[in-house]
Structure 1
Amino acid sequence: MNTIPKHVAIIMDGNGRWGKLHGRSRSEGHYAGSKTMEELIDVSVGIGIEVLTLYAFSTENWKRPKEEVNYLMSLPVKFFNQKLPEFMKRNIKILISGDIENLPKGTRNVLVKAIEETSDNTGLIVNFAMNYSGRSEMVQAAAHIIQDVKENKISIDQLDEKTLENYLYTRTLPDPDIVIRTGGEKRISNFLMWQSSMSELCFVDELFPDFKKPLFIKALKGVYHRKQALNI
Structure 2
Amino acid sequence: MTLLSVNLNKIAVLRNSRGGTEPDICRAAQTCIENGCGGITVHPRPDMRHVRPEDVRALAAMLRGRVEYNIEGNPFAPPRGGYPGLIALAREVRPTQVTLVPDGDGQITSDHGFDLSNDLERLRPLVDELNAIGCRVSLFVDSGPQDFAAAKALGVQRIEIYTGPYAEAFAEGEPDAVLADCAATARLAQQAGLAVNAGHDLSQANLGTFKAAIPGLAEVSIGHALIGEALYEGLASTVRNYLQILR
**TM norm structure 2:** 0.44
More contact order relative to length (CA 8 Å, sep ≥ 6): 1
**TM norm structure 1:** 0.46
